[in-house]
Amino acid sequence: MRKVMFVVLSLVLVASATAALAQQPPPGAPSSGGTRFGGGMMMSCPAMAITPPSASMIDRATSLELTDDQKTKLTTVLTKADTTLAPLRQKATEATTALRTAVYGATYDAAKAQALLAAAQKADADVSNAELAVWTEIRAILTADQVSKLQSQRRGGFSGGGNFQPGQGNQPGQGGRTRGNRGNRPGGGGNQDNAPEPPPGQ
């Protein structure tokens, strides 16, 4: 039972993140400032760790210095990926919701919960496999240097300003925005713009 509960909680976090990925804002739209998940959780879930960038982010990928041909190819690949991944993420979310409902219901059926757990794990695996297939196409388009830059950007967190990364908003990342919206994440401590000045000498 404890093992099932642990997996349920993990899948709930994955489902929340994958559901948010389907709600990326258009290019230039402000971030919603919603809850984000820390980097540790991101890296512990395959579907979250390898989330490919959205097609809407290509024009903002200035730091990668993409050629026109690369932009055209990436647009084709990522536009298709956005369409393909959306229903898979929705299915994963629904499977996890069903599992959570079964575990927290008024009555508990261990066999049913186990079956729903298997279904939720398969749905999440389907998302991961589809995302990996997208990355196979991306790697065939980008140069080694561009991939290195992309890796550095993703390791540094999620941000705007021309970074070729997954969409902004309610995304798994490095724990929220740096100023003004820190209250939207666990432990953020509220609005940093209103924080008192430190005593002299500190």
Q: What is the pLDDT along the chain (202 residues), one digit of tens a residue?
A: 566 555 555 555 555 554 444 444 444 443 333 333 344 444 457 878 899 988 887 887 788 899 999 999 999 999 999 999 999 999 999 999 999 999 999 999 999 999 999 999 999 999 999 999 999 999 999 999 998 888 877 665 434 334 444 443 334 333 433 344 444 444 444 444 454 555 555 4
Give me the domain span that covers residue 8: 2-23+35-52+64-176
Question: How far is Cα of residue 148 from the mean position of the Cα atoms in its chain?
Answer: 20
CA dihedral 49, 54, 60, 66 (to 10 degrees): 90
Task: Find out whether 4 and 103 touch, Cβ atoms under 8 Å.
Answer: yes
What's the domain count of the chain? 1
Tell whether 189 is covered by a domain.
Answer: no
Contacts of 149 (CB under 8 A, 6+ apart): 63, 64
pLDDT given at position 98: 97
The DSSP code for 172 is: B
SS3 assignment, position 37: strand
Question: What is the pTM for the complete model shown?
Answer: 0.60
- Asked if residue 59 is part of any domain, the answer here is no
Tell me, what's the pLDDT at 123? 96
Q: Give domain status of residue 200, yes or no.
A: no
C-alpha count within 13 angstroms, C-beta hemisphere, residue 103: 22
Residue 201 lies in a domain: no
Contact yes or no for 189/183 (Cβ under 8 A):
yes
Q: Is residue 182 part of a domain?
A: no
Collapsing DSSP to helix, strand or coil, 189 comes out as coil
pLDDT at 34: 35
